[in-house]
């Protein structure tokens, strides 16, 4: 059978509920824009609290059967979905470039990464096993089985339009859960294309639902998803502010929550490091997706003896970055997602400069290319009063801080309520072990700037989140342990 490919971008103009393409009951729609030039890519339903109820009911009904499918059956369906995603990788990457702005090469990388979660969880679906406990009583046997938690709500951000969805939905489906996905308002088209392929792969109706809505309706839709008694758990990736609100909303129903929130990643370069490698890692960590990832290096801490050489080397690499359209093969730095984000980055940089930071490169919106483009920027002489020191920048800005001792570096690195990723470069073995243990983060890159992978456990500590995604831990978020006690044996 020849499966039909992903459709043209503009034809994704409906939400996906219970295996059908549907409009909002209010008939309202909102525009999805290309961040490169502001072109309207499509109009999608602006759903509200009533529409999301339908999706929850569809997922609830689908769960009745889906929860009792075998791991092997779910594995086969996930594998079919994966094969279709693979076959359509170029088409999906092109949708991502259109709605998120990232260069096509990067979008292809994201699709490979995003697809890998479906492949991984298709394999893991067959390995969800329980335990037989050694009973202390002769007449009893005790068994722990894992069961899916139920209908799950998946709320995702725009920075990885496919990966943030597959990482959650792959795990949820493998576990036997059904889901209602609320993609980010900036990038709903990728989500719809991915759901289209899930449908095509034979995943039953109601198992995956995609409810689209604009920013205005997001709080109402989110509230229903958190508070409906028919939803068992929430998995959210996004800002710390919204994550805290959703966590509170989930409290009244004692819902299972998985939160992947903002980071404030330190990137430490010790004097023993290979500075060229460190610069390479710094560039990858900072400029991937134009700095718009929650694991992007946010604060560069450089030991005094190599400070000047690091600055000089990273500046020369930054001079090679080319801003432009994601579809132009020369471009390696796309626009920021929207004007609000561009203004926010500009505000952080201007605040630092006004408070006395030294601007070594860039520093402003690149208006000659577009209002959403920000110049790659290098600043130093920063102090803790500056926004760039404490806030998640989410833009192409390298902020460098000089430190003297290892203890200073660790203190600065840990002096934040966030704890997602941390990176450091060192060739001193004892120091590597010490620093890796002391960093208060969920993930550490050691002499490495890119750490994400379906096989590894992604997640944070402190205010950066709860739970893990990817690896076999990712499935645990969607199962509960049921204890069965067989008596009078």
**What is the enclosing helix (H) or strand (E) of 90?**
helix 89-100
Q: Which of 114, 157, 161, 445 binds ligand ADP (CB under 6 A)?
A: 157
Q: Which of 87, 219, 472, 480 binds ligand ADP (CB under 6 A)?
A: 219
Instruction: Compare residues 182 and 372 and give the one whose CB is closer to ligand ADP.
Output: 182
Instruction: Compare residues 28 and 205 and give the one whose CB is closer to ligand ADP.
Output: 28
SS3 assignment, position 44: strand
User: Which tokens sit at 286?
Assistant: 């900072």
267/393 Cα distance (integer angstroms) = 14
Instruction: Compare residues 239 and 414 and give the one whose CB is closer to ligand ADP.
Output: 239
- Give yes or no for residue 185 binding ligand ADP (CB under 6 A): yes
Query: In the window 186-215, what residues touch ligand ADP (CB under 6 A)?
Result: 215
Instruction: Compare residues 161 and 281 and give the one whose CB is closer to ligand ADP.
Output: 161
The Cβ of residue 127 has, within 10 Å, a number of other Cβ atoms equal to 11
- Give yes or no for residue 44 binding ligand ADP (CB under 6 A): no
Helices and strands, number each (H, E), in the chain: 15, 22
271/263 Cα distance (integer angstroms) = 25
58/64 Cα distance (integer angstroms) = 10
Query: In the window 22-41, what residues touch ligand ADP (CB under 6 A)?
Result: none
96 contacts: CB under 8 Å, gap ≥ 6: 102, 107, 110, 111, 161, 162, 187, 190
Instruction: Compare residues 204 and 253 and give the one whose CB is closer to ligand ADP.
Output: 253
434/441 Cα distance (integer angstroms) = 14
Nearest approach, Cβ of residue 471 and ligand ADP (Å): 23
- Give yes or no for residue 326 binding ligand ADP (CB under 6 A): no
Q: Are residues 234 and 152 in contact, defined by beta-carbon separation less than 8 angstroms?
A: yes
CB under 6 A: which stretch of 48-56, 75-83, 153-161, 455-463 binds ligand ADP?
A: 153-161
Q: Are residues 396 and 369 in contact, defined by beta-carbon separation less than 8 angstroms?
A: no
133 forms beta bridges with: 142
Q: Which of 34, 69, 156, 293 binds ligand ADP (CB under 6 A)?
A: 156
CB under 6 A: which stretch of 30-38, 98-106, 155-163, 465-473 binds ligand ADP?
A: 155-163
Q: Are residues 275 and 282 in contact, defined by beta-carbon separation less than 8 angstroms?
A: no
**Binding string to ligand ADP for residues 224 to 243, with x set by CB under 6 A, is what?**
--------------xx--x-
- Give yes or no for residue 49 binding ligand ADP (CB under 6 A): no
Angle (CA) 375-345-388 rounded to 5° is 110
CB under 6 A: which stretch of 182-190, 305-313, 315-323, 426-434 binds ligand ADP?
A: 182-190
- Give yes or no for residue 184 binding ligand ADP (CB under 6 A): yes
131 assigned to active site: no
- Give yes or no for residue 51 binding ligand ADP (CB under 6 A): no
Please report where in the chains the tokens 């801490």 appear, as a residue. Answer: 301
21 forms beta bridges with: 16
- The HSE-up count of residue 114 (CA atoms within 13 Å, CB side) is 28
What region, left, alpha or beta, does residue 177 occupy, with left being phi > 0 and alpha being psi -120 to 50 degrees? Answer: beta
Select from 227, 236, 213, 262 the least CA-distant residue to 46: 213
Nearest approach, Cβ of residue 308 and ligand ADP (Å): 35
Instruction: Compare residues 42 and 88 and give the one whose CB is closer to ligand ADP.
Output: 42
Residues in binding contact with ligand ADP, number by CB under 6 A:
15
Distances, alpha carbon 253 to alpha carbons 149, 223, 230, 236, in Å? 14, 12, 10, 16
213/217 Cα distance (integer angstroms) = 6
- Give yes or no for residue 296 binding ligand ADP (CB under 6 A): no
Query: In the window 251-290, what residues touch ligand ADP (CB under 6 A)?
Result: none
Catalytic, out of 99, 119, 124, 260: 260
Minimal CB distance residue for ligand ADP? 222
Q: b/e for 143-170, b at 16 or more Cβ within 10 A?
A: eeebbbbbbbbbbbbbbbbbbbbbbbbb
41/38 Cα distance (integer angstroms) = 9
Nearest approach, Cβ of residue 459 and ligand ADP (Å): 16
CB under 6 A: which stretch of 126-134, 149-157, 267-275, 321-329 binds ligand ADP?
A: 149-157
Q: Edge-to-edge strands of the sheet including 141-148?
A: 131-133, 141-148, 479-486
Nearest approach, Cβ of residue 215 and ligand ADP (Å): 6
Q: Which of 155, 165, 195, 197 binds ligand ADP (CB under 6 A)?
A: 155
Instruction: Compare residues 344 and 462 and give the one whose CB is closer to ligand ADP.
Output: 344
- Give yes or no for residue 222 binding ligand ADP (CB under 6 A): yes
- Give yes or no for residue 245 binding ligand ADP (CB under 6 A): yes
Nearest approach, Cβ of residue 356 and ligand ADP (Å): 28
- Catalytic residue list: 260
Q: Given the rule CB under 6 A, which residues bind ligand ADP?
A: 155-157, 182, 184-185, 215, 218-219, 222, 238-239, 242, 245-246
């Amino acid at each position: 059978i020849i499966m039909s490919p992903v459709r043209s971008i503009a034809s994704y103009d409906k939400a996906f509920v219970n295996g059908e393409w549907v409009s909002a009951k209010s008939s309202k729609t909102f525009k999805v824009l290309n961040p490169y030039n502001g072109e309207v890519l499509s109009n999608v339903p602006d759903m509200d609290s009533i529409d999301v109820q339908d999706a929850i009911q569809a997922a609830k009904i689908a769960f009745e059967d889906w929860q009792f499918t075998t791991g092997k059956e779910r594995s086969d369906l996930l594998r079919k979905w994966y094969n279709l995603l693979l076959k359509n990788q170029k088409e999906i990457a092109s949708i991502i470039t259109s709605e998120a702005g990232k260069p096509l090469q990067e979008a292809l990388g994201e699709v490979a990464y995003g697809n890998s979660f479906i492949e991984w969880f298709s394999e893991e679906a067959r390995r969800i096993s329980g335990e037989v406990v050694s009973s202390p009583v002769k007449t009893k046997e005790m068994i722990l089985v894992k069961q899916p938690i139920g209908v799950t709500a998946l709320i995702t951000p725009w920075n990885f339009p496919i990966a943030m969805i597959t990482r959650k939905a792959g795990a949820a489906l493998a576990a036997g859960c059904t889901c209602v996905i609320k993609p980010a308002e900036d990038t709903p088209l990728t989500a719809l294309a991915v759901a289209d392929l899930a449908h095509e792969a034979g995943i039953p109706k109601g198992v995956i639902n995609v409810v689209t809505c604009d920013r205005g309706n997001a709080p109402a839709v989110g509230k229903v998803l958190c508070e409906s008694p028919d939803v068992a758990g929430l998995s959210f990736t996004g800002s710390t502010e919204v994550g805290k609100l959703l966590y509170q909303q989930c409290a009244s129903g004692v819902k299972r929550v998985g939160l992947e929130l903002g980071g404030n990643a330190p990137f430490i370069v010790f004097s023993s490091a290979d500075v060229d490698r460190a610069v390479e890692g710094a560039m990858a960590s900072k400029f991937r997706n134009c700095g718009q990832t929650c694991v992007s290096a946010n604060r560069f801490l450089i030991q005094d003896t190599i400070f000047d050489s690091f600055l000089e080397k990273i500046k020369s690499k930054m001079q090679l970055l080319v801003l432009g359209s994601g579809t132009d093969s020369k471009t390696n730095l796309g626009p920021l997602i929207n004007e609000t984000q561009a203004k926010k980055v500009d505000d952080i940089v201007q605040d630092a400069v006004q408070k006395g930071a030294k601007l070594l490169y860039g520093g402003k919106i690149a208006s000659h290319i577009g209002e959403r483009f920000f110049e790659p920027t290098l600043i130093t002489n920063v102090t803790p009063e500056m926004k760039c020191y404490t806030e998640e920048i989410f833009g192409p800005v390298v902020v460098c801080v000089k430190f003297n001792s290892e203890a200073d570096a660790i203190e600065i690195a840990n002096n934040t309520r966030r704890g997602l990723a941390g990176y450091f470069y060192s060739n001193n073995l004892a120091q590597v072990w010490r620093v890796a243990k002391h960093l208060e983060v969920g993930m550490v890159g050691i002499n490495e700037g890119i750490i994400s992978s379906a096989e590894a456990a992604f997640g944070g500590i402190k205010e950066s989140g709860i739970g893990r995604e990817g690896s076999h831990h990712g499935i645990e978020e969607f199962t509960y342990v049921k204890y069965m006690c067989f008596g009078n044996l």
